Structure 1
Amino acid sequence: MKYVCIDDGAVRELISGRELQSVDFEDGRRLIERLQGRTQVFKGTGSFLVNLDKDGMYLTTPGKWKDKKYLVVDCESSNLFSSVRDAETLTSLQKLLRFCSKFWSGSNAYTPAEKMIAGTSKTILFPLPFSSGTGFRVAIEREPMKERLERRDLSGNFLLVYKTGFDGANSFTEEASLQNFRKVIEALPSVYDALPRRIEFINEHEQNKTRNGVFDELKIAAPRNQLPRGNMLTLGDWLPRLTKQQRQFVQAPVEQALRLVGAAGTGKTTTLILRTMFILLKAESDKQQMRALFVTPSEATRKSILESLQVINPNGFWERDPKSSAVSLTVTTLASICADKLNQTIQETEFVDRDAQDSKVMQGLYIEQAIAEARANDFKSHAPHLSDKFRSFFDETENTDLVDLFQHEISMQIKGRAGDPFDAYKECPPLKYGLPVETDADRGFVFSVFRKYQRQLVDVAQFDTDDVVLSATGQLDTPIWRRRRSLEGYDFIAIDEAHLFNINELHLFHYFTRDPSAAPISFAIDQAQAVGERGWEVSKELESNHGRQEEELNYGTVFRSSTQIIELSASILASGANLFSNFKDTLKGAQSGFTSDDERRTQPVRFIEAVDDDTMVELAFKRAAELGALTESSPSDILITCLAPDLLQSLKDYAAKRRKPITVLDRRGDYAKVRSAQRDGLMLLGHADYVGGLEFNIVIVVGVDKGRVPYEGSSTTKESRNFMRYIAHNRLYVACSRARFALELLGVKARGPSDILSGAFTKNLLELVE
């Protein structure tokens, strides 16, 4: 094929169709294959046609040809549809079409990727994310055959893509080849003269048409309504909207063990819910027994899942009694289901907290007391036996700075991997970015802190979530449970946010399956959202011990966020991956699923500097109101967040003093509070640890400056700095990836922007506003 001509009506439909933004959708993949000449088939319904002649293709909509504007792609000189991978080709096409629409509307709001070359009629478009590092560019001639078209009263009606590549050229001397462009100009009158007859022919055969590729005409899907927020669609409404990978995951056989990997905003939780409902409905239709379990990391997310389930399918599987119903669903937290197995040996009052997030907060308070006691009473006697590295680290680090490190070591290593015994803990390989334990003496001192922490729990007659899980493991790995398993076990298990569980928790899930030899477990994971190094590969720990191969599905399209927000989030992950060898970059190669209507509401990603903390806090609320107006967002669509607890208190104090109507998030993924804020018209405020699992039109992250992100306390040890850097990357990624249309980071000018953002500034992904 020598050329492709697309009129302005077709451009509007292509940039507004959700299923045409990604090759993960069948329509998007078929479009690219059609333009490449690899297929004649494209499923869809819509209002424009493809017309073919011996040299090229015309994407046309009804109307007089002289009243339209056109994009002409010279396929021989530009290789637009064959220079990069299919996903990148579709991204390039969509960026090109959006530029055309913007140019024809007379807008001058061009992005840094759309370079109008001064003194020429050329534009150079860089359609791929800067984070891809490809440098792929598209050369556009804005005034091809200028004098001839002026004589025919067609001046300004055509844009010509005449070259693509990875290297620059001299735009002042470069001339576009016009041979194929002339053919398009001469053919257009006859193409549009024949269009009414072609439309009539298609309409006559529409009822009986089976879309099997018989016709050359291509009918593109008209833009569907935007998806309602909060998963407010039924299962029947959802299935046609899924990408190929999502549908494959949802409809896979129940016995297939599936690992779903994707960045924030790719639809992991939604499709995990849809898979669960699909399996339950199929079982009920086939009159088969199906006892399903859906596990969430916290009570807040459990309530959110239940709310979504009530809309997706009102059959009420989760309200049925698993003991008396053939098909049922249990939605619970891991702590709760373990407690159910221990119902004869543990009471409600003995829990630190059933909610994993709240339990971790209480753990931190107890651990800080244990560290202080160990420093006062034990450190002096242990010091001569400790390694030089650990001794100097502990001696030079403040207790408050040690809490996160010790809590991480206890949760991930002592309880998470070893399961309490000191001998087992001694055999655990140390975390690369955690406490600098080198010798058994180092581990002995850490274990003494752990014992003091445990004693505090005994004194208050409580168990933390790790105790509950370990106790449940002991009761499940017994002949009694193995006998009961066929009656009380589950036929299908779904695990949301598997990256938030430790190794012992992950191992526990296999005990809950009805068939010990099967692993009907599906789980969603984005390891970059887990705060701190895990010390293991989460996905590997959920693999079956019975030789069954798990299938991994990767989601590459982010539906939540704009391209600019995705690029900044990707830059944060890339920074973490460069610093830490085991840091997961789940956004590498991701693309946005935004339509042109979504992009209309997007705002530049900015870093704004304030003179001091008070001014920065005030600025956060001011910018929230301004961005709300620019993006047509209600107050409940706005989140102000931070990574520093003291800043969170300052934000709360300012809101109280100025009587700003806000709701404070104090649990991770608390969708119930978001719904309450929507009803009352309140803005959301919360620490970055509590915003995971949620999304907002606008996110303002306060205090993203040196000394705070990562946090630099009075301690100067390398180990504490590395740990703080590691978790700062996790938290900043989670905070930024909550945003849909607008994201702004605030900092104090005297401090300067956080070093985590240096790569983003280098690639012009952040606009600095002083």
Structure 2
Amino acid sequence: MTTNISALVVDRKAINILDRALVEDAWLEKFEVPQNSDGLRRVESNGIVYLLSEDADLDDGYLVINTAIFAPAAGLARPRTAFERVIRVALRHFDRSIAIPIQWQPYHAGSRLSIFAQPSRASLQRVYFDQSPEGTGNLFAFAVTSNPVDLDDVPEDDSLYQRAIDGICDAILADAPAAPPVGNFGVLLSEPQGVRLASAGTLSEWYENRLNREQRAFVDQPHDRPVRLRGAAGTGKTQSMVVKCLRDLYADADGKTTFAFLTHSSALAHTVVRGMLHALDPTERWTSLRCPYEQPRLWIGTIYELAQEKLGFEKKGLKPLSLDGREGREYQRMLIEQAIDQVVKDPRIVFDLFPGCPDFQKRLVNRGGDATLIDELMNEFACVLDLESIKKDTTEGNRYARGSSRELWQMVLPTEAHRRVVLEIHDIYRALLRTEQMLSMDQMIADLGRYIGTHEWGALRERDGFDLVFVDEYHYFTRAEAMLLHNLFKSRAQVSGRWPLLMAYDIKQGTNDVAISGGMERFRNPGVGESVLTELKQVYRSTPQITEFLRDLDASFPAMDLEGEYATYVAESQQEDGETPSLTIFDTDINLVDSVFEQATRIGRDIEGGGSQVAVLCLNEALFDKIRVAGRVREKFVPITTREDLKELRYAKQKCVFSMPEFVAGLQFHTVFLIHADSVDYDEDQGQGTRRRYVSRVYLGASRAARQILISSSKEHGGPSQLLAAPLANSTLRRVN
């Protein structure tokens, strides 16, 4: 670290600019920026660097960073990652609708806050913040430690903070600095990542010229009733929702109407939706709109982030178990594995229950060779037990165990003994959560549901509630989540009887059964009256060849009577012709992996946008975990397993993206490789629910592609899946050598 730079000061608007920058470790030595770069200018004075936006003002909020955090002496393996986390905390500080990821383990004590500095589980380094230095509304990142330390014991350099703040006025008034030497600055200031998903065009251009008839009808819907927007992948559901949200926000004359834009995915909320909003209005005026009582007029985030904000779990030492990304799913799997270990060794269960279900006992004991067992249990927990608050040794638990009627999509549990064993596994799983002081997503939602029924929420509802609620990815919302949406409205909605709840969904993109388990009635009547349906049928993302392939995949969904909501795929492409999707069969897994990643990196070098436009999506969860840590290809991809990983897309360059379909829902790519479409994972004799979830995973992955789909399978896993037989027969999929 250059010794004469002791602090970095960034104004509130410049924080947003730096949030989307590509930063190299070397940039953290001098913090130089190219001239005329996105309205950002650099002023250096008395050993302090000021990065200021064009509209920087003394009354703005400021982030002050003690640059010793990034010095070699601090020992950070990836200083730029720590810098990006500091910027994210600053965004959260000035915009309460932005959450700090659970994996960073935020810890509070008074005005102080600390987070992990690096993503590696081996690193325990933490960064420390003062959220009210000298009693102000600024944010001071003041220290880093190699191991967690009591927040009150970490020294804070108050004099450095004061010197940095005292120089702001002179920095704002200073003349523009001379252009620095031409060269590599170590920073690239870019547009928000979601901008490329929105296509070009301002809000007025989209409304006047780009929306088709169905999209325009949706955007013009009045705020007098619920509206549902149904459409296949690529028909522009999210784009239509964002256009309507921003147009209605700006059209509000009195400036008092508040909006919530809820999703089930942090990536969709904070990368895609915010990027689309930026594309529609690059001034980002929507970020500064406030109600008279200083609440933001537009709140964007997940239903879980809303629960965190209202209930303050992190301040109580509780950690939600995130299901938004691979880490949360992986941790849940570990807890279920531990629960099964206890069940198969419990003498009471072995002697009392297993004799009534020897087949299930065999599955549990030999679970290592049963790829679907944990998935089925996770689905049963989310869609039945946690959803209905069913617990062992309760009236509801006994009714569940003795009941013989089960839906076709549910886990096959033919006898009472089967269901009693599942209750035992679930009971131990819940106990393990309590031991770790963690909350499952369903427990968070249950607590939020209770809170919004309290007198406290009744008193705050007019201030903290919303006038309009947009819900994207409604097919991922459980019945419990859907049932609490109407209580998020201000009390005036109940008085007027007008509930403008706007829902966008495509049931076939759901890779679990939460949409089905909630019943179809909640789509037509989400608890606030009958909704108006708008259906989108024109595909704007994919070529006609990909659209035809998706139509054949759609025909493979098990026949299910879902009261008209499981509509046949009828979308028509509006794009130019492209290549027919292809299937390649490899002799070995190693050949498949080597060939696919070599081809993916080659394509990434040849197309606009580079590697971030090429995705390799694995259809088998166990193989995904195995490939993700394989040394032979690790340097060829950027793994996407959480919302935090999406930041890494900016650094893809010569690398491709490696993920699973559910982790990139809402994103799109020029080229998609679907790997391990193997016969061992799909069998016509499987249960209907297992088959439906697998088809949904393939459908979701294929629908991420705009121009090209390349599918591969391995003979080590039985060769190509039976699911591909119909597309091959209809020539919407071609086999290549």
TM-score by length of 1: 0.63
Residue 438 of structure 2 corresponds to residue 462 of structure 1: yes
Residue of structure 2 equivalent to 1:765: 732
Aligned 8 A contact 1:416 1:505 in 2:
no
Partner Cα separation in structure 1 for residue 527 and residue 197 of structure 2: 40
Distance 1:666 1:545 in 2: 31
CA contact (8 A) 1:561 1:741 kept: yes
Q: Is the 8 A contact 2:557 2:692 kept in 1?
A: yes
Counterpart check, 1:434 vs 2:410: yes
Cα distance in 1 for residues equivalent to 2:337 and 2:358: 23
The answer to whether residue 395 in structure 2 is matched with residue 423 in structure 1 is yes
Residue 551 of structure 1 deviates from its aligned partner by 0.7
CA deviation map 1:626-667 (0-9, x unaligned): 55578666322111111123433554456x536744211112
Contact 2:683 2:722 in 1 (8 A): no
- 1:673 is displaced (CA, Å) by 3.5
Please name the residue that 1:531 is paired with: 511
Aligned to 2:659: 686
Range 432-441 or range 503-512, more displaced:
432-441
Aligned residue type for 1:569 = L
Superposition deviation, residue 386 in structure 1: 4.2
In structure 2, the CA distance between the partners of 1:641 and 1:584, relative to structure 1 (3 Å rule), is farther
Shift of 1:450: 1.1
Deviation at 1:549, TM superposition (A): 1.9
- How big is each residue's C-alpha offset from its partner over 1:371-427, in whole Å with a ceiling of 9 and x where there is no partner? 221122153134268468766765775576421111111111011234658433535
1:446-461 mapped onto 2 (5 Å cutoff):
446-461=422-437
Number of residues of Structure 1 aligned to a counterpart in Structure 2: 526
Change (3 A) 1:666 1:434: same
TM-superposed deviation, 1:684: 1.0
Look up the equivalent residue of 2:223 and give its one-letter code.
Answer: V
8 Å CA contact 2:520, 2:565 repeated in 1: no
Letter in 2 for 1:252: Q
Answering whether residue 637 of structure 2 is matched by residue 662 of structure 1, we say yes
Counterpart amino acid of residue 341 in structure 2: A
Match of 1:729 in 2: 695
How far is 1:483 from its partner? 4.0
Deviation sequence 1:319-350 (CA, Å, 0-9, x none): 44556258711112111211222238963643
**1:185-224 map, 5 Å:** none
Q: Who is 1:280 aligned against? A: 249
Could you say if the C-alpha distance between residues 675 and 275 of structure 1 is closer, same or farther in structure 2, counting changes exceeding 3 Å? farther
Kept in 2, the 8 Å contact 1:529–1:731? The answer is yes
Tell me the CA shift for residue 297 of structure 1: 1.3
Shift of 1:518: 3.5
Q: Distance in 1 between matches of 2:382 and 2:634?
A: 40
Distance 1:358 1:309, change over 3 A: farther
1:31-430 equivalent positions in 2, closer than 5 A: 229-239=197-207, 240-283=209-252, 286-287=253-254, 289-304=256-271, 305-313=273-281, 314-321=283-290, 324-325=293-294, 328-343=297-312, 347=316, 349-353=318-322, 355=324, 358-377=327-346, 378-383=348-353, 386=356, 401-418=372-389, 422-424=394-396, 426=399, 430=406
TM-score, with structure 2 as normaliser: 0.65
* Letter aligned with residue 703 of structure 2: S
> Aligned to 1:742, what secondary structure does the other structure show?
strand
Structure 2 counterpart of 1:500: 476
Distance across 1 between alignment mates of 2:292 and 2:396:
39
Deviation at 1:276?
0.9
C-alpha change, 1:420 and 1:558, in structure 2 (3 Å) is: farther
User: Residues 451 and 647 (structure 1 numbering): CA distance in 2 closer, same or farther, change over 3 Å?
Assistant: closer
Identical residues among aligned pairs (%): 21
Alpha-carbon distance between aligned partners in 2 of 1:270 and 1:545, rounded to the nearest angstrom:
22
Amino acid at match of 2:613: D
In the superposition, relative to structure 1, how do residues 614 and 684 fare at CA in structure 2: closer, same or farther (>3 Å)? same
SS of aligned partner of 1:698: strand
The alpha-carbon distance between structure 1 residues 423 and 316, as it changes in their structure 2 partners (threshold 3 A), is farther
1:609 aligns with 585
Unaligned runs of 5+ in 1: 1-226, 713-717
Q: Is the Cα contact below 8 Å between 1:671 and 1:694 reproduced in 2? A: no
**Distance in 2 separating the partners of 1:507 and 1:729:** 28
Cα distance in 2 for partners of 1:683, 1:473 equals: 41
Q: C-alpha distance in 1, partners of 2:313/2:720?
A: 54
Q: Which has the greater radius of gyration? A: 1
Over the aligned positions, Cα root-mean-square deviation in angstroms equals 3.2
The one-letter amino acid paired with 1:665 is I
For structure 2, the 5+ residue unaligned runs are 1-194
Q: Tell me, in whole angstroms, the C-alpha distance in 2 between the residues paired with 1:365 and 1:243.
A: 47
Provide the secondary structure at the position in 2 that maps to 1:753: coil
Distance 1:229 1:384 in 2: 52
Q: Classify the secondary structure of the residue corresponding to 1:576.
A: coil
Instruction: For residue 228 of structure 1, report the CA deviation from its aligned partner.
Output: 5.4
Distance in 2, Cα, partners of 1:344 & 1:621 = 41
Cα displacement (A) at 1:291? 0.8
Report the CA distance between 1:430 and its aligned residue.
Answer: 2.8
Separation of aligned partners in 2, 1:675 and 1:538: 40
Matched-pair contact (CA < 8 Å) for 1:489–1:513: yes
Letter in 1 for 2:553: I
User: SS where residue 558 of structure 2 aligns?
Assistant: helix
Of 508, 511, 516, the residue aligned with 2:487 is: 511
Q: Which residue in the other structure is 2:452 paired with?
A: 476
1:659 and 1:373 mapped to 2: Cα distance? 35
Conserved in 1, the CA contact under 8 Å of 2:586 and 2:715? yes
Map 1:628-707; keep pairs closer than 5 Å.
634-649=610-625, 651-652=627-628, 656-657=631-632, 660-667=635-642, 671-677=646-652, 680-707=653-680
Looking at structure 2, the residues matched to 384 and 626 of structure 1 have their Cα atoms a distance apart, in angstroms, of 54
Q: CA deviation at 1:275?
A: 1.2
Would the aligned equivalents of 1:295 and 1:331 in 2 still touch at CA under 8 Å?
yes
Q: Is the 8 A contact 1:259 1:553 kept in 2?
A: yes
Secondary structure in structure 2 of the residue aligned to 1:577: coil
Q: For the residues of structure 2 that align with 1:658 and 1:525, how far apart are their CA atoms?
A: 36
Task: Find the aligned partners of 1:705 and 1:612 in 2 and give their Cα distance.
Answer: 12
- Cα distance in 2 between the residues matched to 1:410 and 1:649: 23
Q: Distance in 1 between matches of 2:379 and 2:678?
A: 25
CA contact 2:584–2:735 (8 Å) conserved in 1: yes
Alignment partner of 1:557 is 2:538: yes
Q: Is 1:756 equivalent to 2:723 in the alignment?
A: yes
- Please show how residues 10-21 of structure 1 align to structure 2 within 5 Å: none
Residue type of the alignment partner of 1:380:
V
Query: What secondary structure is seen at the aligned counterpart in 2 of 1:694?
Result: coil
1:547-626 to structure 2, matched below 5 A, reads 548-578=529-559, 588-595=569-576, 599=577, 602-625=578-601
| Helix, strand or coil at the partner of 1:522 | strand
2:66 aligns with none
CA distance in 2, matches of 1:592, 1:699: 18
1:521 is matched with: 501
**Equivalent pair of 1:510/1:544 in contact (CA under 8 Å):** no
What CA deviation, in whole Å up to 9, does each residue of 1:462-498 have, x standing for no partner? 1121111101111212344334323322100011111
Contact 2:226 2:501 in 1 (8 A): yes
Relative to 1, partners in 2 of residues 1:749 and 1:407: Cα closer, same or farther, differing over 3 Å? closer
Compute the displacement of 1:741 (Å): 1.0
